[in-house]
Structure 1
Amino acid sequence: MTRRRVVIVTYAGCQALDVTGPVEVLDTANRLLGDPESGYQIEFVSPAAPLVRTCSGVVIAAEPLDAGQGPIDTLLVPGGWSLHDTLEDRDLVSWIGRAAGRSRRVTSVCGGSFLLAEAGLLGGRRATTHWAYTEDLARRYPDVTVESDSIFVWDGHYVTSAGVSTGIDMTLALVEEDHGAAFTLELARFLVLFFRRHGGESQVSSILDAQLADSSPIRGAQEWIIDNLDRPVSVSQIAAHANMSARNFARVFRREVGMTPGQYVERMRIAHARKLLETTDLPIRQVARRCGFHAPETFFRRFGRALEITPSEYRHRFQSISGSGLLPEPTPAR
């Protein structure tokens, strides 16, 4: 098996984590695989070679763009705070367009999708970017179908991911295509990832949503909801726990949390269901009941609407396989 050549385009002001997140996934994969011929050959190229200063001051050593000639397995383009100026670099944009033609896969993180679109690579395709810039992407490139709430979008051999850390999720999906789900689950566990996220998941974290409230009555109501996910709960019940009228509670809750109490309850139930599917062997109907879905059909419908995957498929893809013995002990990279 030939090593997969990964060429990462860097430029002055690019986002360090857009680069280092995917790199750490690939480097760790190399170490776990233990076979240099089955892993990834990572190369950095840049118009700012030999030393590229990212927007946070991290410096990356890179080769000139000309070093990126020849067949490429995966081309990766990051975003960055300097993206507006970078889009004006016609030489870089043209190079990306040409390199894409030599690549088996073309990928981007965050604002890197703007560079792919500027190079004419995303016309007629689905794509995403950081949630703060999806409207700008759609307005600037109307021939691109922008999926504003996906963490990464796979269209043909083009894969675009949302903001910053989602480059890790996208790269795990690339590794899964190359080495299978079992290896990738062990890789995610080795990277100490709390969840493996698939592309259709929302860019807005339901776990972070649980931490948004500023006032103690609303925080207390959120904690009560999480402690009672297995029970039918109404807005009036939650409001009573917060010592507020139902109408005032709903208004304040939406203002502080950014969604209605009902929407919040459902998000927490889906998040809890994901955890149970990943960490237990409970029958799916029992998972549904523990998460407050006493009609399994409702659970299947709501879970599928939220994650675009069935509970059974989710468990198959994401459940921990601790102790499977599928992988060798990590060995030093070569």
Structure 2
Amino acid sequence: MKNYSRDYRRYATQPRGLTDEHTVRRVGLTLFNGFSLPEAALILEAFHCANARVKADGADGIRFDVSLLSVAGGKIASSSSVFVWTDSVDSPVHAGDFHALFVAGGVGVQDALRDNRLIAWLQRIQPHSQRIFPIDGGRLLLQAAGFHPGDSDPLQAALSLIGNDLGVEAARQIAQRLEQRLEDQSLAIVRKDTSIIVSDQIRASARWLEMNAYRPIAMEEVAQVASMSERNFLRRFKLEMGKTPSDYLLLVRLSRCCHLLAETDLPVDKVARRCGISSGGRLSKVLRKHLGVTPIEYRASRRKSTDSK
């Protein structure tokens, strides 16, 4: 997993303090049906933590006003079938400049690319947003709108914005809290056999695998994230993580399948495909191998456990 508490600092180049007379930073998070919830939730959590810190300090400091946006507004479904409420991008409330705008990714991005209203809005909003950051597949939407976004990690970008206004120490503490949350979200089987010391390059590649697990991935892509040759990357990843990148990716997908089995009523085949596993039959084989149960048995056991509490 990427070390955000250290790496965000290289993005935080602006001096601390107000850049104008206002104390509210308007941040937009653009969503669409089928967006990836975990990555978007981390961005939201970062700014929530920043606001909570300012409130706890009792200071009249910067406040981040974060808005969830979609073309039509209203209820939007994430790729894991969790619904969130959004404001329309055309709402008068959201007229004017954004301090930062994040554009979500996820399995629904291909449908979003065909939404001319969304692409047109991104084209219109660009001159009114100081910074625009894609979240993984959100890069495709920005490219369709004629932008060429940089390669900065969106969570690191959010932390750098916070650090610029609240200071390096505040951003570092928030990064540590988010890192702990990321760890807590993973199954023990994903972390099993991982070395205590993992290099930043391998952590970055593991995090990239986690964020892109829903789609087909070539090992050449991941090696590029780690800035290594494919051969050297495969060797280093196995040495430091205790498993091959392919095995790690499969376990990440299995972890997400377990979450959907426990939290939703989606058919097993649909759960598998949403998490990057080819079919329900394939998911059943993997689940039996690692946990000794079928998807139906796993779902039933989790429901029973929840009902008994």
Structure 1 residue 76 and structure 2 residue 102: aligned? yes
Task: Select which of 139, 144, 149 maps to 1:118.
Answer: 144
Change (3 A) 1:265 1:59: closer
1:263 CA displacement = 7.6
Task: Select which of 146, 159, 164 maps to 1:177.
Answer: 164
Whether the 8 Å CA contact 2:42–2:178 is kept in 1: the answer is no
1:12 CA displacement = 1.1
Distance 2:118 2:237 in 1: 44
Which amino acid is the alignment partner of residue 174 of structure 1?
L
Change (3 A) 1:168 1:27: same
Structure 1 residue 203 and structure 2 residue 204: aligned? yes
Extract structure 1 runs of 4+ deviating beyond 4 A.
199-202, 262-268
Change (3 A) 1:36 1:30: farther
Which amino acid is the alignment partner of residue 99 of structure 2?
D
Whether the 8 Å CA contact 1:69–1:99 is kept in 2: the answer is no
What value does the CA root-mean-square deviation take over the aligned residues? Answer: 3.6
Task: Select which of 2, 16, 26 maps to 2:37.
Answer: 16
CA deviation profile, 1:17-48 (whole Å, cap 9, x unmatched): 23211001100110011246512001112124
Q: 2:282 aligns to what?
A: none
Task: Select which of 62, 65, 80 maps to 2:86.
Answer: 62
Which of structures 1 and 2 has the bigger CA Rg?
A: 1
The runs of 5 or more residues in structure 1 that have no matched partner are 128-152, 154-160, 162-166, 209-253, 269-334
TM-score if structure 1 supplies the norm length?
0.47
CA deviation profile, 1:99-139 (whole Å, cap 9, x unmatched): 121011111111011111111111xx643xxxxxxxxxxxx
Change (3 A) 1:194 1:16: closer
Q: 2:234 aligns to what?
A: 259
- Tell me, what secondary structure is at the counterpart of 1:205? helix
Task: Select which of 6, 28, 31 maps to 2:52.
Answer: 31
Whether the 8 Å CA contact 1:15–1:81 is kept in 2: the answer is yes
Which amino acid is the alignment partner of residue 142 of structure 2?
L
1:1-334 map, 5 Å:
1-34=22-55, 35=59, 37-67=61-91, 68-122=94-148, 126-127=150-151, 153=152, 161=153, 167-191=154-178, 193=180, 203-205=204-206, 259-260=234-235
Change (3 A) 1:61 1:26: same
Change (3 A) 1:259 1:28: same
Which amino acid is the alignment partner of residue 187 of structure 1?
I
Distance 1:205 1:59 in 2: 28
Distance 2:233 2:81 in 1: 34
Which amino acid is the alignment partner of residue 183 of structure 1?
A
Whether the 8 Å CA contact 2:163–2:171 is kept in 1: the answer is yes
1:194 CA displacement = 8.5
Change (3 A) 1:107 1:200: farther
- Tell me, what secondary structure is at the counterpart of 1:62? strand
Whether the 8 Å CA contact 1:75–1:100 is kept in 2: the answer is no
1:170 CA displacement = 3.6
| Larger helix fraction of residues | 2
Whether the 8 Å CA contact 1:30–1:40 is kept in 2: the answer is yes
TM-score if structure 2 supplies the norm length?
0.51
Which amino acid is the alignment partner of residue 160 of structure 2?
A
Aligned length: 181
Distance 2:170 2:71 in 1: 35
